[in-house]
Structure formats: C-alpha cells, structure tokens
Amino acid sequence: MKTRKSLLSLLRIGLGTWLWAVGSASFADEGMWLYSDAPRALLKERYGFEVTPEWLEHLQKSSVRFNSGGSGSFISADGLILSNHHVGADTLQKVSNKEHDYLKNGFQAKSLAEEIKAPDLELNVLMSIEDVTARVNAAVPPGASDEDSFKARRAVMAAIEKESKDKTGERSDVVTLYQGGRYHLYRFKRYTDVRVVFAPEQQIAFYGGDPDNFEYPRFDLDVCFFRAYENGQPAKIEHYLKWSQSGTKDGDLIFVSGHPGRTSRLFTMAELEYVRDIQMPRTLQRLFRAEVNLLSYSERSQENARRAKEDLFGVQNSRKARKGGLAGLLDPELFEKKAAAEKALRKKMAAREDLRDTLAAYDRIAAAQKTIAANARAYNMLEGGGGFQSELFGIARTLLRAGEERPKPNGERLREFNEAGRESLELALFSDKPIYDDLEELLLTDSLTYLAEEMGASSPLVQKVLAGKSPAARAVELVKGTTVRDLAFRKKLYAGGQAAVDATSDPMIALARSVDGEARAVRKVMEAQGEAKQQAHAKIGQARFALEGTGSYPDATFTLRLAFGTVKGYEEAGQQIPAHTTFAGLYGRAREHDDRPPFDLPGIWTDAKAKIDLATPFNFVSTADIIGGNSGSPVVDRKGEFVGIIFDGNIQSLVLDFAYTDTQARAVSVDARGIVEALKKVYGATGLVKELETGKRGE
Amino acid sequence: MKTRKSLLSLLRIGLGTWLWAVGSASFADEGMWLYSDAPRALLKERYGFEVTPEWLEHLQKSSVRFNSGGSGSFISADGLILSNHHVGADTLQKVSNKEHDYLKNGFQAKSLAEEIKAPDLELNVLMSIEDVTARVNAAVPPGASDEDSFKARRAVMAAIEKESKDKTGERSDVVTLYQGGRYHLYRFKRYTDVRVVFAPEQQIAFYGGDPDNFEYPRFDLDVCFFRAYENGQPAKIEHYLKWSQSGTKDGDLIFVSGHPGRTSRLFTMAELEYVRDIQMPRTLQRLFRAEVNLLSYSERSQENARRAKEDLFGVQNSRKARKGGLAGLLDPELFEKKAAAEKALRKKMAAREDLRDTLAAYDRIAAAQKTIAANARAYNMLEGGGGFQSELFGIARTLLRAGEERPKPNGERLREFNEAGRESLELALFSDKPIYDDLEELLLTDSLTYLAEEMGASSPLVQKVLAGKSPAARAVELVKGTTVRDLAFRKKLYAGGQAAVDATSDPMIALARSVDGEARAVRKVMEAQGEAKQQAHAKIGQARFALEGTGSYPDATFTLRLAFGTVKGYEEAGQQIPAHTTFAGLYGRAREHDDRPPFDLPGIWTDAKAKIDLATPFNFVSTADIIGGNSGSPVVDRKGEFVGIIFDGNIQSLVLDFAYTDTQARAVSVDARGIVEALKKVYGATGLVKELETGKRGE
C-alpha cells in the first residue's frame, strides 16, 4: 500500500494530473526502480505478483551492463550473453576491416575458436548495493563554497571507491541518485574478455533503417550474441536467464532489467527551460552537421561507407531521439503541466514553516543554470569534445592528463583518473581498434571549423588552436604528425608519466596541452554549478519526501533498474496497432517498398521464406518504462524467463525523458520466439539454439 | 593600356599582392565585366582580340537569364535555348508527377506538340543599359536620415522603372552596382511561354552526385533544352549562337556570357568578418538541418524521394558551396591579405587631404554591420522565411501584402510590388506548380521548431505563432486549413484587394498577418542599414576611382556579365589534371565504383557504349571568372561560336566569392562536342542535333 500511494503522489507531484499519465487506466506502469528499493507492494497489489528476494537477485545478477552504452543478459551457464545488434555494433565495427565487414554482413562462429575477441569491451554485473549517503554528506563541511564542497565530495567518493575496490577486488562506483538526494556504492564484477558469437546482417537487425527507427509496427532482428571469458575459457555463470518456451501474449505482465541512461523527470522548470531552449537546439545543431558530414563522406566510396557506418548510425539515432524529445518539450501540454506541478509543490512548501526555506533551492538551481548557460558553449567545445572531434585527440588528451593526474592524491584527481577506475581507463586507452586517418582529418577539420564558428575565428584561443593555418591544413598536419596512434608509443608515454609526456613534441599532445588550461577552467566552473544544483536538489528531495513520503525511483543514471509493464498495443490515428508483429509482416513490408533500401531483405532471408513459420511473433510492444541505455535489456515473465529483448521505443516514447505516459508510448522488443525461429530457419544456428534452450553449450 | 593598368591596380587594392592572384603568370583572367564597360583594351593587349560592337551585341542578345536562378543562351532562330539540367530542374520537378518523373528519367519531345510548358518560368534577354546614377543620387536629399534616404531612393528607382516600362513595354530594372557606386537601368525582353524540349536522366546530368559536385575531373551531361514561344509559336530569334564545329583545345581564349549571382569582393573587413563569423555559420546551420530533414523524408518512400529531389539537390549544392566559401574565409592567407589591402587603401586615403574624410565611411559600414548582426536572426526568421518554410505561407504572405501595397503610390511600395515588376510577380503567384501537403507539413513543423529555438519558445511572438500548440500540431492545422493552394481562391483574393484579404479567415493568411508587423519592422531596420552601407561604399568607390582610376568591374548582381579565360588544366597534390575529360573517363569512373550509386550509369548509357567515340571531349575547365548564377552560361570562342556550357566550378573556385585566383580555381563546362555525341549516339535526337547545327528547326 505504501508504495502504491507514494507512486501516485509522485505522479501528482512530478507530472501533474495529466490525462496521459493518470488517464483512462486507473494506474500506470511507471518507474525505473532501484534494485535496492523494488516496487514490491505495488506489484503485489496491481498484478498480484510477489517479488521474492531470490527472484530479484537472480534477475539482477543475470543482467549485464555494456559499458560502451547498453544492456544485455546472461542466457547460458557458459557465459553466453544476448544484447542488441546496435549495442554490439561498436565492437562489430572495430573487428571489421575492408575485407570482412561483420557489421554489415553478420558473423557466425562455428566453434569457440572462431569467436572474435572485442578489443575494448567491458561488461559489468551488479553484485551489491550499499547506501553511503551519510558518509558522503558528512564529508562536506557546512557553509563551504560550491567549489570546496565539490572537492570534498569528490575526495570522499574516491576514497569510498578505492576502499571498496581494495577490499573486494570489484569495480566500485559511487552513484549519485535523486540529483544528489542519495549516494549508493555499486559493486560490479567486470568481464573484459568478451567475444562475438553471432550477429545477423545489419539490414535485418536494423530493418527499415532510419525511417523505421523509433516507429512501430516493426520487424527487426536486433540481436547480437557474445560470450564472456575468464582465464581464456568460457566464464562459468551461476545466474543466467532460462529461455521461455511459451513467450508473451496480450495483457501479460513483463519485467525489464537494464540500464536506462538518463532521464530528466525531476528537473525543475529552470532546468527544463535550459534543455528546451539551449541544450537540445545546440545538440541538434551538432548532430545535423555530423550527419551531413558523415553521409557525404560515406557516399564517396563503399569503403568510406563501411568506416563511417557505426558513427553514422549513432548520429542518426541520436538525432531522431532528440528531435522527438524537443518536440515533447515544445508541446505546451507537457510543459504547462510540468510548470503547474512545480507551482503546486512550491505552494505546499511555502505552507509549511519547516519547509519554507526549501524554496530558495529553486532559485539556487535557476542561478546555477544561468551560469551553466553562459559557459555551455565553451564547455562543449573545449571539454566536451565539440571542437576536437578526433579519436587521436582523445587519446592525446588522456595521455596528457594521466601524466598530470596520476601523481596526485587519489581524491584530488579528475574523477576519470581515480584508482578504482584505472583498469577500465587502461582498457579503453590501450584499445587497438582501427583509426582511419581520412576520417580523422575530415572530422577534425569540421570540428575545428565549428570551434571557429562558435568561439569566433579571431579569438586568441581559436588562433592558438589553428596556429596560423586553415582548419583543413591544421587537421591534416595534426593527424599526419601525431604518433599516438601507435600503441607502443601510448604505453611508453603512459608508463613514463608526466616526465615522458612533457618531453614529447607530439603535435596532438601539444594541442591538447595548449587548450588544457581553458578546458579545465571551464570544467571547474561547471562542476561547481553541478554541485550547487545537487545540494539544492537534495533539499527539494527532502521536502518532497516530507510532504509525500518516500518510496519512488530516481532519474536514470545508467545503473541497473527494474521496470515492469503490460504487453499491449495502442491506438494511433484511429487505428489499433496490435502488440505483436510477425514474419509475415516483415515480408509484406519489403514487398510494399519493392524491396528497395532501406526496406530490402538480405538474400538469405528471401531464400528462407518458404521454411519460416510466417505466423511466428517477431517484435512486440509493452508499457514498460524505458529510455536509451535500456537497449539489449532482457524482458522476462513472472517466472523470470526470457521472453524478449528491448531494442527501441516508439516515437511517442521519446518524451519519457521528461515524463512517463502509457497512452501511446511503448517499449519495443524482439520476441524470444522470433529469435529462435530466425536462428533455426534462416541461419541454421542449431548449436546456438541448443545452448539457449538448454542453458549449456553443446560439446 | 588603361584597362589593364586599372585591373592590376584593382588587384593590388582589392586583393593585395597574393601569389594566387598575381602569381607565376604575368596576368590573370579576372573579371565579371559589365557589357556597358567591356574590357576591350585588356583583351586587345593580352590576347590580341578585338571586341567589336557587333560581336558584343550579338553575344549579349543571345544570352538568356533564367529568373529561377541561372543562365542560358539561344542556339537557333526558332527559339531553342540551352541551359543546364540543374537550372531546368526546377521546371522539370514542377511538370513531373508520381507517374512521370522527368527530372529523374529525362524527357525528349518528338514534336513541337510534345514540348511541355513550364508553369512559371520567366526568361529575360538584356536589350539595353542606361546609366541613371545621377538621377538616382539627385533624388536623395542631402543630410536625410538613412530611412528617408532609403525611401527617396526606392521612390526614384520605382519611377524610373515605371517610366521605362510604360515607354518601351520592356521589363525595366534599376540595378545597384559597385555596392551603390553606380545605378544602371537594365531593360529586358521577357519570355514567359517556355517549353521543355529535351532533358537527359538526372543520373548522367549530375553524374557522381554530391561527392563529385564541385570536383574535377568530371563527367556530366548537365544540359537541358527549352524553347521560347510567342503567341503560341516558336519565337523568332535574331541573335542566337552558332554551334562550333571545332570545339576548344588547351590554351584557347574563351568567353563566358552569363549572370553571376553574388560576389563579395569589394566588402570591407567589417563585412567580411560578419560573413565569416555570423552569416556563413548560420546559413550552414540552416542547410544542415534542411538536408537531414529532406533526406529522412526522402528515405521513407520512392515517391517522397521524387517530391523532395529538387529541393534536396539545391540544399546539398548550397551546403557544399558554403562550406567551401567558409573554408576560404578561415584560411588566414586570404583573410590577412584582404586586411592588408584594406589597410593600404586606407593609408592612401589618409594621405590625401581631399579623401581623408572617406575613412569615416569604413566606420559607418562597421556600425551598420553591428546593427545588422543584432537584427539578422529576427530578419532571417521573420522576413527571410527561416521560420515559415512553406510554399503556402509564401503565397499567403504575398496575397496579404499585395492587398496592402498595391493601393499605395508606386514609389512607396515594398520593392517587389512595383508596377514595373507586376507581371513577373503574378506569373509566380498564379503558378499551378504542385504543392505537397506532407512535405509542407514537414518543412513547416521544422521551421516553426527552428523559430522557437532561435527566438525562444517563451517569447510572445513564438507563442503567438504557435497559438498554444506544438509546432507539429500547428503546422498540420495550418496546412490542412488553408485555401491558398486553390488557384481560383488566390486569383479572387488578389483581384479583391485589401477588402477581400481582410474578409478572409484563412488561417495561413491570418498567420502571415499576425507576424507582419514584426517582419516589416525588422525589414525596415535592415533596409536603412543597407542604405547606410550603400552610401558609404559609394564614397569609398569614389576615393578608389580617384586613387586608382576607373575601369574595373562591380561585384556580381545576377545581371549579364562578360568573363573571359583560357582553357587550361591545373596541378593538384602533385598531379597535373588535364583540361578536358572524355567519354572513356566516364565509363572508367563507373567501373572504378562497381557501377554503384552515385556512380552508376543509366541503362541507355551502358547500352550505347559501343556506338560512342570514347575519345570525344566531354567536360573541360577554363580560368574564366564565374560564380553561382553562371550555371548554363554559354562558352564561346573568338568567333562567338558556342563551344561549351558552364555548369560548375571546382572546389578551389569556391573562394571566388571573395577574390579571384587562377592557381587552381577553374570553371567547369560541358563540351559542345560531347553534347552532340551524346544526343546522336545515346539519345538518337537527330532533329535536335540538326537544329543546333543548322540554327533552324527541321520540318
């Protein structure tokens, strides 16, 4: 009862009384719940479902985070992992070359020996959660400036992480929840020997391309199989998901266990206005120019298209998502109801003597947001990478800063150089993924141009960066001149520390050095403002808890969350869209578009049509509360069995960043039955099917 | 001698002493010369070529301006006109539909009866030029404010135009030259019954697509044949170009007669900085988002792709041109030399007592430029169409303003509603070109979003425009609700004048009305600043004439100019690129790219390969001074015979906007011999070939 009540309170507070949040249904399947605070009572009351500790622990430890940005799950005792093709794409791109384009053409290992090792993929499995809020807050001296407060908090978080890492050997991250209302220590088991087992052709994984992305009905085999290894052998896994034989039907309760990346539901109006008026438009500008850049590069040759493919997908995907998000914020219904909700909450605070001074927290956030707005351009350009879009520059800057940061006490370093995160940093830094000079030159030329546009061609900083040359000439000089593409050089410089870095005349490192003062300075400003906002949000959160009771969920933070929902279609433009699609629908859509890109089918799919049971469910939608980062999340039924895998949200779900709605917003999954049918009939992947059906690798 | 001297003076002044302007060759083929001030002495001395009045008049009256934005020429006594495919594309798009895609698949009329009438194409032939500088300047009272001065100038120009139109019946435009240094009255013969005779497939007209656009070597049959009609019969043409039998060879002197659109060579540094730091970046932003928008729309279906094709080409073409232009401005060599030249000229002015007060003109321009920068965003959004990208909105605004402007005295109207331009305005307003609601909704949604991004979603103006709806909902409501797509309604409202417009409740007209106050206000500000700059430029021009002598050419104004140059290859990255390409090169390039788009060939071209003489010249480059607007310009030899047609500049030519260079910059033409070979061997267009070879239509 408590949980349900507080959820509805949250709805009233966070979302107002909108039709689409508390509409015709008497409840909504809202929430990206912490595993340490699962919605037990809510599920009991609404669905008569009992969350047992065993059920929860099993799902938690079967869930996998892809640090490249996505989710997945163990599905066999022998380390088999299922995620999305578009989550695996980063790795597929890195292990491909001109001769073997696994991203485009797919890959199938016929034996363990053929499985391909990813160059820099790190997977995390959440092992335990500990609330460290009291210790973190106690470390911050009362009355400290924002900057000092930030430093103190950074130091204590680094100390907690290092202690935990030293004690358990596990990756240990202090996670900031409720915008600063809570701090939790998350411990993860790391897997860094991860190999590609199976990927279909991108054309079926991402069937319908950009036009069908974020749309429904849908027909995508967006899956990619990996295997975790330990000591050169398939990892032995205790917690993995059993493959369901029955699948889902309309109205079924399902659960989604994954890593939603970021939501902004608890933002104040000052923050939402910033997102709507400044952040989103600027991000879209960057995405538009990146898309045009990559498309025109890709059009020049097949090999160019291959090199840019994964970047291009990422840019187009973000562009469509942000356009949807901005459209949501420009919808006065959403925005005005957000405003009304904030006003109502503030009124309640004003009415209670003990909470009245919380109102100042809103002003503090608004003031911080102003400073952030004034510094955002410089921050994005100098620290956020907008002005230096280059893998080589990124490596150069990491080497430069590693030299400076690592001699410092652990708690005083830039956060990414903490001892606790060292292994992950080194995995990324020493990746031997391919770097293409022509693409580097193209992107660096464009981003140096963008830097000049944004900061003024005559500004001393831009003049320093360009060193008397045009952006194109400067980019070529830097890319051709740098040695950081050489792994041995990287390792030497990293091992040699600051002295080695100081001694090198590498031009890319020299460039990173020349702007590092400005970049660090603007980062410091932003960190202080972030701290100010966190403290203010912590105050607002306390007041909200006092007024509404506890028991809700924090905004998404790319940490493990549990969502739930119902398998359910929806109405659009007067038409009822069923929850499930089938293979018959896939072939129908191809026919409808005369098999032209992006609606063409790989040859192997055309050939297999007669063998396939066309009535097999292929994709389905549910009301589960998801967002980017959830891609690859397992969908399980009451028994905790694997019934599908999240790969998208529909276009109406793009406002979930700001508020939940189940009127039309839906999470889109590949159906477990569709996966098996395709593996069997199209790919003849009998070994793989046997492994996921039995939970064990065949010999 | 005089002309040559002054040209070199201009080079020193306008361009500094750069290597690339006065480089290894002892002269440069610079200049977009007025027909009223042709470089006679220069051509005599440099090439031993005598410009006779007859030669000049014949070329002038054979030249045709496409008011849709391009150039062309008469090539038969029966009204046959040759221009580029990409100039004709606007018309080809408008006469196409779902069943007949002439833009993509080409068109060939087998008889006069089959020639297709363009819905709204106006062609102009320059008949005479008259200097009206004295009268224009005399009308402006000394000491008047910029706004009053603008009004006075507008009034006298309208009066001159109307008088001329009434007297001669010819279209009469007062053209502002030298940024306000001179005013000339141009009289044109108009052709408005123009029909499509022949167009090749876009895939060969624009072979190599965006990747090869602005590149060389090149293999494009970028031609489109039209015919001018009068009284329902092919127009009888006195001046048309004879088709050359010999073509061009390396080192030949050639002439280009066409309509360069706009250059910025006489801009002051304050103006160039504005272009570099504000105008170009913002224009590119708009182009990037437009390109992404149109591409994602196009990808949804073949029919979408057809509908958006011409717009998409235009956007991609502009984007590549602007990127090249911005790259030029960000090249410190160009910019610093421009600055040095301005400094040198100012020093000379300062040294002469009678010219010293001219220096204030630079400050006046800089001040005006600041005001322009402060108003540019609002101007672009409200008056420039950035916020209302919709054909229907454009029609609605024209109807609204026609109602208000036409009752005013001729000299007080917004310039586009002058009596002298009435026929041209009505031709455009009553065009029955297709308007696609889905594309209108897409573009209007995006531009309303852009308006909110640029002017702030909370601004009263944006709130007024959106009327409490999201951009998407508002766009759909407007497009579905308006009646201005109906030609009869348009004509009724136009005829009914202000009373009829006031009486209508059409939502698109209501929208145009609701922002017209703000739009007109910001236009007024910009016009006054433009006037201030014109007066200042006139002063600078006078001082320059006093210091350097007269006899140069003004910046481009989309009026007829004569350029000249040499057929000549160039060196790039250590490689010598020959002036001519051949059909063998075309087939080679297709093979090199496995015939994949955009390097695939139309089937008819693959089939015809055996018949074609592969050694026939296809495209060629020359040093002639051209810019956008010159597309379709005839290239003639000393005899005035047609040897080719301009269709592009190479990537190095994109800086010609700001300064001439002949180191690598080249104009790209289709060779007359290639055109004939293709017409004969690929298209079997024997009638057309006979007409252009004999100058007469066969019976």
Buried b (16+ CB within 10 A) or exposed e, B556-582: bbbbbbbbbbbbbbbeeeeeebebbbb
Are B449 and A330 inside 8 Å of each other by CB? yes
Quick one: pLDDT band at residue B16, thresholds 50, 70, 90?
A: very low
Are A332 and B470 inside 8 Å of each other by CB? yes
Looking at residue B6, its pLDDT comes to 27
Q: Cβ contacts of residue A237 below 8 Å, gap of 6+?
A: A74, A76, A77, A78, A79, A228
| CA end-to-end distance (rounded Å), chain A | 50
Q: Is A98's Cβ below 8 Å from some Cβ in B? A: no
In the block, tokens 């005005």 appear at: A336
- Residue A16: Cβ-neighbour burial (10 angstroms; 0-12, 13-18, 19+): buried
pLDDT tens digits along B221-256: 999 999 999 999 999 999 999 999 999 999 999 999
Using DSSP bridges, classify how beta strands B70-74 and B80-83 pair: parallel, antiparallel or unpaired.
Answer: antiparallel
Mean pLDDT of B477-501: 97
Question: In angstroms, how far is CA B126 from the centroid of its own chain?
Answer: 16
- Residue B488: Cβ-neighbour burial (10 angstroms; 0-12, 13-18, 19+): exposed
Looking at residue B550, its pLDDT comes to 67
Residue A148: φ, ψ to 5°? -65, -40
CB B209 within 8 A of CB B222: no
Are B453 and A281 inside 8 Å of each other by CB? yes
Looking at residue A349, its pLDDT comes to 96
Residue A386's region, left for phi above 0, alpha for psi from -120 to 50, else beta, is alpha
Are A285 and B288 inside 8 Å of each other by CB? yes
Which residues of chain A lie closer than 8 angstroms to B273, CB-CB? 458
Q: Is A662's Cβ below 8 Å from some Cβ in B? A: no
Mean pLDDT of B68-75: 96
Min Cα–Cα distance to chain A from B215, Å: 12
3-state secondary structure A135-204: HHHHCCCCCCCHHHHHHHHHHHHHHHHHHHHHHHCCEEEEEEEHHHCEEEEEEEEEECEEEEEEECCHHH
Q: Is B300's Cβ below 8 Å from some Cβ in A? A: yes
Residue among A284, A327, A453 minimizing CB distance to B470: A327
Min Cα–Cα distance to chain B from A453, Å: 6
Min Cα–Cα distance to chain B from A1, Å: 38
Angle between helices A437-455 and B280-298 (to 10 degrees): 130
Looking at residue B551, its pLDDT comes to 72
Q: Which residues does residue A174 pair with via DSSP β-bridges, in sequence order?
A: A185
Looking at residue A551, its pLDDT comes to 73
Min Cα–Cα distance to chain A from B266, Å: 21
Residue A457: φ, ψ to 5°? -60, -25
Please name which of B657, B699, B697, B692 lies closest in space to residue B82, comparing C-alpha atoms.
B692
Q: Cβ contacts of residue A690 below 8 Å, gap of 6+?
A: A698
Q: What is the mean pLDDT of each run of 10 residues along chain A (699 residues)?
A: 26 27 49 96 94 98 96 98 97 96 97 97 98 97 94 97 96 95 97 98 97 97 98 98 96 98 96 97 97 97 96 96 95 93 96 95 98 97 95 98 97 95 96 96 98 96 97 97 98 97 97 98 97 94 85 92 98 96 98 96 98 98 97 98 98 94 96 98 97 92
Are A327 and B273 inside 8 Å of each other by CB? no
Q: Does the pLDDT value for residue B25 go beyond 90?
A: no
Q: Which stretches does DSSP call E strand in B543-590? A: 561-566, 570-572, 575-577, 580-582
Q: How far apart are CA A360 and CA A206, in angstroms?
A: 48
Q: Is B296's Cβ below 8 Å from some Cβ in A? A: yes
Sign of CA dihedral A553, A554, A556, A557: negative
pLDDT tens digits along B490-520: 999 999 999 999 999 999 999 999 999 999 9
Using DSSP bridges, classify how beta strands B634-636 and A116-117 pair: parallel, antiparallel or unpaired.
Answer: unpaired
Looking at residue A545, its pLDDT comes to 85
Which residues of chain A lie closer than 8 angstroms to B470, CB-CB? 327, 330-333
Looking at residue B23, its pLDDT comes to 28
Q: Give the tokens for residue A96.
A: 């491909």
Q: How far apart are CA B509 and CA B500, in angstroms?
A: 12
Q: Which of B288, B333, B458, B599 to mutate to test the interface with A (most CBs of A within 10 A)?
A: B288
Q: How far apart are CA B33 and CA B59, in angstroms?
A: 13
Q: How far apart are CA A261 and CA A527, in angstroms?
A: 20
Looking at residue A21, its pLDDT comes to 31
- Residue A471: Cβ-neighbour burial (10 angstroms; 0-12, 13-18, 19+): buried
Q: Is A468's Cβ below 8 Å from some Cβ in B? A: yes
Are A296 and B326 inside 8 Å of each other by CB? no
CB B441 within 8 A of CB B475: yes
Q: Is B282's Cβ below 8 Å from some Cβ in A? A: no
Element (H, E) at A471: helix A471-481
pLDDT tens digits along B669-694: 999 999 999 999 999 999 999 999 99
Q: How far apart are CA B244 and CA B247, in angstroms?
A: 6
Q: Give the tokens for residue A679.
A: 């593996």
Residue B601's region, left for phi above 0, alpha for psi from -120 to 50, else beta, is beta
Are B453 and A295 inside 8 Å of each other by CB? no
Q: How far apart are CA A228 and CA A543, in angstroms?
A: 45
ipTM over 0.90: yes
Question: Which SS3 state, helix, strand or coil, does residue A626 take?
Answer: coil
Q: Give the tokens for residue B163.
A: 């008088």
Q: Is B8's Cβ below 8 Å from some Cβ in A? A: no
Buried b (16+ CB within 10 A) or exposed e, B331-359: bbbbbebbeebbeebbebbeeeeebeebb
Q: Does the pLDDT value for residue B2 go beyond 90?
A: no
Q: What is the largest CA-CA distance in chain B?
A: 73
Min Cα–Cα distance to chain B from A376, Å: 16
Q: Cβ contacts of residue A323 below 8 Å, gap of 6+?
A: A284
Min Cα–Cα distance to chain A from B7, Å: 29
Tell me the CA distances in angstroms from B82 to A160, B197, B482, one per residue in order: 78, 10, 38
Residues of chain B numbered 203-242 and touching chain A (CB < 8 Å): 209-211
Q: Give the tokens for residue A298.
A: 């890709």
Q: How far apart are CA B44 and CA B33, in angstroms?
A: 15
Quick one: pLDDT band at residue B699, thresholds 50, 70, 90?
A: low
Q: In chain B, pLDDT over 90 holds for what percent of residues? A: 94
Are B449 and A596 inside 8 Å of each other by CB? no
Q: Which of A215, A284, A292, A594 to mutate to test the interface with B (most CBs of B within 10 A)?
A: A292
Q: Give the tokens for residue A318.
A: 């973000």
Q: Which residues does residue A617 pair with via DSSP β-bridges, in sequence order?
A: A582
Looking at residue A699, its pLDDT comes to 67
Q: How far apart are CA B383 and CA A158, in angstroms?
A: 55
Residues of chain A numbered 337-366 and touching chain B (CB < 8 Å): none
Q: How far apart are CA B488 and CA B127, in angstroms?
A: 35
Please name which of A29, A42, A43, A48 lies closest in space to residue A1, comparing C-alpha atoms.
A42
Angle between helices B422-429 and B487-503 (to 10 degrees): 110
pLDDT tens digits along B579-635: 999 999 999 999 999 999 999 999 999 999 999 999 999 999 999 999 999 999 999
Looking at residue B552, its pLDDT comes to 86
CB B660 within 8 A of CB B15: yes
| CA end-to-end distance (rounded Å), chain B | 51
Give the global pTM: 0.93
Which residues of chain A lie closer than 8 angstroms to B465, CB-CB? none
Q: Which residue in chain B has the smallest CA separation from A315? A: B292
Mean pLDDT of B162-189: 96
